[in-house]
Amino acid sequence: MLLKIPAVLSKQQVETARKALLEAQWSDGNITAGYQSAKTKNNLQLPGDSQVARELGDVILAALAQNNLFMSAALPNKIFPPLFNCYQGGQSFGTHVDNAIRQVPGTPVKVRTDLSMTIFLSEPDEYEGGELVMEDTFGSQRIKLAAGDMVLYPSTSLHRVTPVTKGRRLASFFWLQSMVSSDEKRSILFDMDMAIQALRNKLDDSPEIVQLTGVYHNLLRQWAQT
Ligand code: NI
């Protein structure tokens, strides 16, 4: 399931993040690339242990914790601390798949990457190119969102970032391990949760809604690993 989540960050938060990012010390993006992706990756990245990355990462994680759409779709167990990248002057990232396991630097914590996330921090009209292109069974999808919006997609999918031929594309990218590793099962739970919430907005709480809510939690109990 690919899901666009609008306004994860407010315009004010985006502005603050951009200001800090433009003053930060950037490195070559290959610091976190695997063997295969290093060959096609050409961008700039903030080192994960930089003060700016940590502070902005915490802002993002706090915003996500309050975001019901994200929590329902992702059912997060462990979230890798957000990283930040910058593409400019023709930089791109060729077709690749994200590494299955990420160790959080400086800790023994390993995160299985079930879902990948990108939060756009530049407005679409500030740069040319820079689309995140996802190959899935329904064909390819080209994603370029407003600053502050996020896309959530299965880490199993092949994806790339097209060359940024004009302007600068700033973004945050990271991964999470879901309590429900199966994309299919997670999608079923998400659809059910959305339907129950919509019903609850239309009708007063009825015994049937209570029962459906019970079914949702019983499925989650069957499928979740914590
Ligand atoms: Ni990737």
What domains sit in the chain, N to C, each tagged with a CATH number? 3-178 (2.60.120.620), 183-223 (4.10.860)
Q: What is the mean pLDDT of the chain?
A: 95
What's the 188 CA to ligand 1 centre distance in angstroms? 25
By the CB criterion, residues less than 5 angstroms from ion ligand 1 are 98
**pTM as predicted:** 0.95
Interval between CA 221 and ligand 1 midpoint (Å): 31
pLDDT one-digit tens code per residue, 26-38: 999 887 777 777 7
Distance 159 CA to ligand 1 centre (A): 6
Contacts 24+ apart (CB under 8 A), 10-14: 10/148, 11/147, 11/148, 13/59, 13/63, 13/148, 14/121, 14/147, 14/148
Distance CA 121, CA 53 (A): 14
Q: How remote is the CA of residue 199 from the centroid of ligand 1, in Å?
A: 37
223 — pLDDT class (breaks 50, 70, 90)? very high
| C-alpha span between 226 and 223 (Å, rounded) | 10
